[in-house]
Copies of this chain bind each other. A is one copy, B any other.
């Protein structure tokens, strides 16, 4: 045990807390892996990766489900299911305003995941 970067909660991650050293510098504790793996898992589907990209790159900072669904050849419920997965992974937030539901990205956790994968030196292969 002792002084590694401790296991953060999903809330911590979304609060924008610094979390973990890059995996190339320090071995991840089991608890941290258990917390972060679901986020990677959520991105591990092509449809969700595209959804995440569309949401994160939306010019207004948010995007309507009604703009997401027609971008795929999938049923509405299936898209809804994938959005729920992203929500439960803490990657996006949803808000209903009138008839439509809008999704926006949570930059905090994405930054955490990115820094975890960071290799530091931008060197060769």
CB distance A125 to B15 under 8 Å?
Answer: yes
Interface of A is mostly: helix
**Count of chain A residues near B, Cβ 8 A:** 49
Cβ-defined partner of A23 (8 Å) among B40, B57, B125: B57
CB distance A26 to B57 under 8 Å?
Answer: yes
Task: Give CA–CA (A57, B72) in the complex, Å.
Answer: 39
Q: Which residues of B contact A33 (CB under 8 A)?
A: 46-47, 49-50, 53
Q: Which residues of B contact A125 (CB under 8 A)?
A: 14-16, 106-108
Q: What are 25 pairs between A and B in contact, CB < 8 Å?
A: A16-B124, A16-B125, A22-B56, A23-B53, A23-B56, A24-B105, A24-B107, A26-B57, A28-B50, A33-B46, A33-B49, A36-B49, A37-B45, A37-B46, A38-B44, A40-B41, A41-B41, A41-B43, A42-B44, A43-B44, A107-B123, A107-B125, A111-B119, A114-B118, A114-B119
A positions within 8 Å CB-CB of B: 14-16, 22-28, 30, 33-34, 36-38, 40-50, 52-54, 56-57, 105-108, 110-111, 113-119, 122-125
